[in-house]
Amino acid sequence: MKKSVISLVCWMAALGLAHKPVVLWHGMGDSCCDPESMGRVAGLIQEALPGTFVHSVQIGDDPDSDANAGFFGNINEQLEKVCNDLAEIPELQDGFNAIGFSQGGQFLRGYVQRCNQPAIHNLITFGSQHAGVSDIPGCADQPDFRCNLMRSIARRGVYTDYVRKHIIQAQYYKDPKNYDVYLNKNIFLPDINNEFLLHKNKTYKQNLLSLNKLVLIKFAEDETVRPAESAWFWFYNEEGDLIPLEDQPLYTKDWLGLKTLNEDNRIDFEVCPGAHMRISDEYLIMIVSKYLSSDLPLLMQQTPA
């Protein structure tokens, strides 16, 4: 048995079928290296996919400053740093899979569209705000002074010059009743969603179409993100009605390639039970096994005795 396992592993490596590395980008209020959150996620991935290299995106110099960077800063500058950092990691050079948690999901999509070297193969996003938020996200159950400070500053004027350039959550805030103001003032989301009417970034569409699979996961009882369906690119119109992705110009005119991906069966829309970022170990392992593992059953059937 031991020899057959070793032979299987060697054969997988020879065929390039070993599990791809995985990159994680945490959400608001979390940090890259908390052993109870991203550290636990990394452990579950390695349990499901033994031998997998896992890297967690870090913006700050230490876990505390990394958590601060999830609230305060300029996401365009942070994204440029991540592009440069990932390009320097040897284990990632042949490509990798990625999982984004909450706001980390749209940021990883921004990575795909803006640089994608090395390239992402499968991108999974949990409760991400792909279409934006109509209200600044609420804080976690345990009061976080950084979150409360962010909300206090943002609510004084989400499109004021200071807030829109220094509060991360304001950089994916969209006021459905003031769409023109959003287009003119928001420094991040209109760009990565290719919403500017006079200029569509062809590279963004080309890069997103390079994905093998885009997995969009919505939380069934999400009360943190408004609307929760932003995880599937749904958003409100000016009258406050929730508009599905398929009924938006973003999709019908294929500004990002989402229509093409969907018609090619390369987008999956999933629902995770529970509230925002309340992901059970069992559900996470199921998603990881479903989307990030090599085809081990088929491989074992084909392995020489």
Active site residue 210: no
Eight-state DSSP code of residue 80: H
Closest CA to 108 of 126, 132, 133: 126
Q: At what angle do helices 281-292 and 38-48 cross, to 10 degrees?
A: 50
Per the annotation, the verdict on 241 as an active-site residue is: no
Cα(301)–Cα(70) distance, rounded to whole angstroms? 45
Looking at 31, 56, 102, 230, which residue is catalytic?
102
Q: Is 102 a catalytic residue?
A: yes
Q: Which of 66, 222, 230, 254 is catalytic?
A: 222
Find the catalytic residue in 19, 26, 130, 276: 276
User: Coil, strand, or helix at residue 38?
Assistant: helix
CA distance linking residue 20 with residue 52, whole number of Å: 7
Q: Which of 250, 28, 267, 30 lies closest to 150, judged by CA?
A: 28
CB 252 within 8 A of CB 244: no
Q: Hey, which bits of the chain come out as E strands?
A: 22-25, 54-56, 96-101, 120-126, 213-219, 235-236, 242-243, 267-272
CA–CA gap between residue 295 and residue 289 (Å, rounded): 10
Which sequence positions are flagged as catalytic? 102, 222, 276
